[in-house]
Chain A
Amino acid sequence: MEKKAVRVAYGEALCKLGEKNEKVVVLDADLAAATMTNAFKKQFPQRHYDCGIAEADMVDIAAGMSTMGLIPFCSTFAVFAGRCYDQIRNGVCYPHFNVKFGFSHAGITLGEDGGSHQAIEDIALMRVLPGMTVFVPSDANECYQCVEAAARIEGPVFIRTARLPSPVYDPLPFEVGKGNVLKDGKDAVLFTCGILKEHAIEAVDILSGQGLDVALVSFHTIKPFDDLLARQYAAKCKHVFTLEEHSVIGGLGDTVASAVIGQGVETFHKIGIQDVFGQSGKPADLLKEYGLTGPQIAENIKNHL
């Protein structure tokens, strides 16, 4: 299966968007080669602004540019969402300016750079901001869709992307705020987001082989969240599991929990980063270390049923 890093798709999507919409400008903070905005820079040198290693300034500059009718896409590492949080909050979200954030290298699969650079809290930070749309694309095709959608939304949008190449699945119908049912099931449901989709599919397959019919639902939009779909599957399956490359506090798991409360759920278990920071290592080793590989997820689910 073809593999492509979601961040690469982000860079490609920006180029495509740039061709169609001349209002789109791209801002970076000396990471164009990593966030993949360098392709846009090459194609549209006059529409790419490097703000230097000054993420907070980048965000407020984008805020100001948006007031001139432009659609700025700010790009940096997801871990710096915290660094420029006040600017995202007060500079962009409070006035509801039309600024987009394509923040890459999210989660532990960033790998060798280590825990200082592995964002495990960015979804939590972003989803609590009024008016913010939060996308976590699960593969390259979904990232194209998220970038396109971001440009259509009037207001702030956060797109979380990953560094690690991951399988590219056939595109599914995309609607902002709607989850996708990847597999129906009745014994339990696994909700996921982002590039762990690959491991979620493997886990559900393993459980299938063991006679457990587990539904799998993927969400590219964490906010606004598809409460209805989550409720429907929680009510039907009763045993609910969530999987994310993010802290189990404040991310997808808590988003699902808020949605499904009162649905007669018997089991609720959040699989993700268990309130710890990451560390250096190869992405595959890190996934194993934090229990996020297909077989580990399958075992985890089975143990809770």
Chain B
Amino acid sequence: MDIQYLKDQARQVRRDIITMTAKAGAGHPGGSLSCTDLLVALYFEIMNVDPADEKKPDRDRFVLSKGHAAPALYGTLCERGYFGREEFDHFRQLHGMLQGHPDIKKCPGVDASTGSLGQGISIAVGMALGAKHTGNPCHVYTLIGDGESQEGLVWEASMAAAHYKLDNLTVILDYNGMQIDGTNDEVMSLGDIRAKAEAFGYDVLEIADGNDMQQVLDALRTPACPGKPRYILMHTLKGKGVSYMEGQVGWHGKAPNAEQAEQALKELED
């Protein structure tokens, strides 16, 4: 697919993120904007999915382990055709299908209910293991956060992924360096995360700029290493695309007001 088309989709998803969080007056724009390019690359180019047959058994799976980035997932699913933009009006609202965190029972296209950090990657490991067991040719992708990587379960799951040689699994780290209480280093340093991932048995790739569509695509297209799960260490910018949110811890879990939203949407026009 034309890369300009993917970039346009990413810009639209970023607009969606601003629109829905501003409307709801809540949500997590910072970490949604940092992973938008990856989600667009996955849903529009890489993954075998079909909104018209959203439960087809051999579809590739995506688990948003950092479930608070739900606005990025919702924007992507919407633009990919899973539902209409009118749903954004009900984001985080009573009876809405776009819950504060992704809900498999309510939202089409969602493969796992996430939000309790550390669990998504473990569920993804189970999906990949189950796919191997049943001979399902699908590939399982999961996006984890850097703050999330402080959860022990991330490493339990990683150990199991290597043990069971899950080369049908790709774990992507959205490494924007920030979490609610501050930078990773202020809160709980991740240390040499690449060395850790390698030590746990992953085939590790690194994306220098995870907000560059071409770099994201190149990494995702790299053939799997037989017998090893893949880990993509993706450097990103928190709040990417909205000048006053970029690199700001404070925009982790805060929605823009009407005026701020207007400015953001203007910046995201072209």
Name A residues whose Cβ lies closer than 8 Å to a Cβ of B.
25, 46-47, 49, 51-52, 54, 56-57, 60-70, 86-87, 90-91, 94-96
Complex CA–CA separation, A61 to B111 (angstroms): 14
**Looking across the interface, which residue of chain B has its beta carbon closest to that of A54?**
B156
- Flag if A86 contacts B116 (CB, 8 Å): yes
**Looking across the interface, which residue of chain B has its beta carbon closest to that of A49?**
B129
Complex CA–CA separation, A236 to B121 (angstroms): 53
Q: Which chain A positions have C-beta within 8 A of B130?
A: 64-70
Cβ of B104 within 8 Å of any chain A Cβ, yes or no, is yes
**Looking across the interface, which residue of chain A has its beta carbon closest to that of B126?**
A64
State how many angstroms separate the Cβ of B264 from the closest Cβ of chain A.
32
Q: Which of B57, B61, B122, B131 contacts A56 (CB 8 A)?
A: B122
Top 7 nearest A-B pairs (CB, nearest first) are: A64-B126, A68-B130, A60-B122, A65-B130, A61-B126, A57-B156, A64-B127
Cβ of B133 within 8 Å of any chain A Cβ, yes or no, is yes
Interface size on B, as a range, is: 20 to 34
- Flag if B128 contacts A64 (CB, 8 Å): yes
Cβ of B119 within 8 Å of any chain A Cβ, yes or no, is yes
Question: Which applies to chain B's interface (DSSP): helix, strand, loop or mixed?
Answer: helix
Q: Which of B57, B113, B129, B131 contacts A61 (CB 8 A)?
A: B129
Q: Which of A25, A52, A54 contacts B133 (CB 8 A)?
A: A25
Q: Which of A60, A68, A69, A95 contacts B104 (CB 8 A)?
A: A95
Complex CA–CA separation, A47 to B152 (angstroms): 26
Complex CA–CA separation, A56 to B157 (angstroms): 9
Complex CA–CA separation, A68 to B159 (angstroms): 21
- Flag if A91 contacts B136 (CB, 8 Å): no
Cβ of B105 within 8 Å of any chain A Cβ, yes or no, is yes
Q: Which of B116, B127, B156, B160 contacts A67 (CB 8 A)?
A: B127
**Looking across the interface, which residue of chain A has its beta carbon closest to that of B131?**
A68
- Flag if B123 contacts A60 (CB, 8 Å): yes
- Flag if A67 contacts B105 (CB, 8 Å): no
Q: Which chain A positions have C-beta within 8 A of B220?
A: none
Cβ of B112 within 8 Å of any chain A Cβ, yes or no, is yes
- Flag if B160 contacts A64 (CB, 8 Å): no
Complex CA–CA separation, A87 to B57 (angstroms): 24
Q: Which chain A positions have C-beta within 8 A of B104?
A: 95
- Flag if A90 contacts B111 (CB, 8 Å): no
A57-B160, A64-B125 known; A87-B119 Cβ under 8 A: yes
Complex CA–CA separation, A66 to B130 (angstroms): 8
Cβ of B26 within 8 Å of any chain A Cβ, yes or no, is no
**6 chain-A/chain-B pairs, Cβ below 8 angstroms:** A25-B133, A52-B160, A60-B157, A61-B157, A67-B127, A96-B105
- Flag if B105 contacts A91 (CB, 8 Å): no
Q: Which of A54, A90, A96 contacts B119 (CB 8 A)?
A: A90
Complex CA–CA separation, A65 to B61 (angstroms): 12
- Flag if B153 contacts A56 (CB, 8 Å): yes
